Structure 1
Amino acid sequence: MKKVTFLLAAILVLGVSSIAKAQKSDSHNLNIKIDKQALIAIESEGSTDISFDSKAFVNAGEEMTFAASGSNKQLWLNYSSIVGTGSTNTISAKISKLPEGLKVNVATSESAANSSKKGKTGKGYTVDLTEGGVTVVDNIGSCYTGIGANKGHKLEYSVSVDDSNYEKLVAADHTLVVTYTITEN
């Protein structure tokens, strides 16, 4: 009987020992892929077209000036960006064939509107547009500006005469296209 009791005790101890060593947690991999992405849009509360009219001379000897006309004078540059390690995105703008004697300037607000931006939005600049393109926002990290008017960077255009080419001004109607492009640095 002692042998049976001892044997039962041994089985019980080994069984409890096995239960005590039973696995109490487990794990597995969860693979997540984040792709680099970049998307931009020009937004407004109405049309994204902006018009400028030359102002009539008031006094002889004055230079030609321009004023924005119509109800829409505000555009907003919205963007979403996911960048790779150590890189940023830049937004450039270029203008179609600029009539001789004119300059078109865009003032891109230095920072994106605070109401809905998240992440590392870029820094905006004030520049004269060219056919080859110029940087209007740089140092963009992973971020988003929000969607619509009053989100992102405000764009303010101005048109002026290029004094060094004033003699090349010709009376005509012009439709110019400004193209914005986001690229990785």
Structure 2
Amino acid sequence: MKHKGAFLVIIMLFSLTRFSLGIGENTEHKASVVIPDVALLSLQHDGNSNIELMGTSSSVAGSKIEMGGEATADIWLNYSSVCHKNQKRKVTATVVGEVPEGVIIKVKADNSVGTGKGELGKTNGTVVLSSNPSDVISGIGSCYTGSGVHNGHLLSYQLEIDEDMFYQASENKLASVHVVYTLTDDN
């Protein structure tokens, strides 16, 4: 009998231990992970973001004015994007305001640099700006460029003239335009 009592105590201890540790029992609940759709864009700069593109007059009679060269104003294009697996986005640029007749404004976005990660967009080189959207960067997937200056795409601007149009329609005046950038779906 002595052994039966000890055996009974061992079985009870085993059962209590098994019950208290939850051995052999499972329970569950559903956990959902929701990843938001993100499309954020900003221009970052140190100081003033305004750029001035100027022509240079000649000091020799009969010479044309020079409109050329590149203006880099240390304006950086930053973006964050989270999209569907096969979805791509792009950055477009549009001029708001009146560009003088015969004047051509171009923008170039350099390749992305800095702390960004993911499927960063590819630059489309130098593009002509107008009142219609021009694709500046394309092929953007889920990524981020990093924020602030020295992250993302450095922008530079170029001014050219169509001599035939310019000399027929130009006048001595200041023309001020805005360049508007938009991050939008590409497909």
What is the TM-score when the length of structure 2 is the normalising length? 0.81
Letter in 2 for 1:83: C
SS in 2 for 1:55: coil
**1:1-185 equivalence runs, <5 A:** 9=7, 13=11, 16=14, 19-20=17-18, 23-24=22-23, 27-66=28-67, 73-96=73-96, 97-109=98-110, 111-113=111-113, 115-125=114-124, 126-166=126-166, 167-185=168-186
SS in 2 for 1:66: coil
SS in 2 for 1:54: coil
- Can you list the C-alpha shifts for 1:153-180, whole angstroms capped at 9, x where unaligned? 0100011102342322222111101000
Structure 1 segments unaligned to the other structure (5+ residues):
none
Q: CA deviation at 1:31?
A: 2.3
Contact 2:94 2:133 in 1 (8 A): yes
- Can you list the C-alpha shifts for 1:15-61, whole angstroms capped at 9, x where unaligned? 73685586347554332211111111111111111012220114344
Letter in 2 for 1:184: D
Whole-angstrom distance in 1 between the partners of 2:176 and 2:153: 24
Contact 1:98 1:131 in 2 (8 A): no
Provide the aligned length of Structure 1 versus Structure 2. Answer: 180
Letter in 1 for 2:121: G
Whole-angstrom distance in 1 between the partners of 2:182 and 2:128: 16
- Can you list the C-alpha shifts for 1:67-117, whole angstroms capped at 9, x where unaligned? 6899x72211111111122101110001123221100000111x211x211
Contact 1:64 1:161 in 2 (8 A): no
Contact 1:45 1:149 in 2 (8 A): yes
Letter in 2 for 1:119: G
Letter in 2 for 1:49: N
Whole-angstrom distance in 2 between the partners of 1:69 and 1:91: 21
What is the TM-score when the length of structure 1 is the normalising length? 0.82
Of 19-28 and 172-181, the range deviating more from structure 2: 19-28
Q: CA deviation at 1:145?
A: 1.3
Whole-angstrom distance in 2 between the partners of 1:78 and 1:157: 17
Contact 2:70 2:157 in 1 (8 A): no
Give me the CA root mean square deviation: 2.9
Determine what percentage of the aligned residue pairs are the same residue: 26
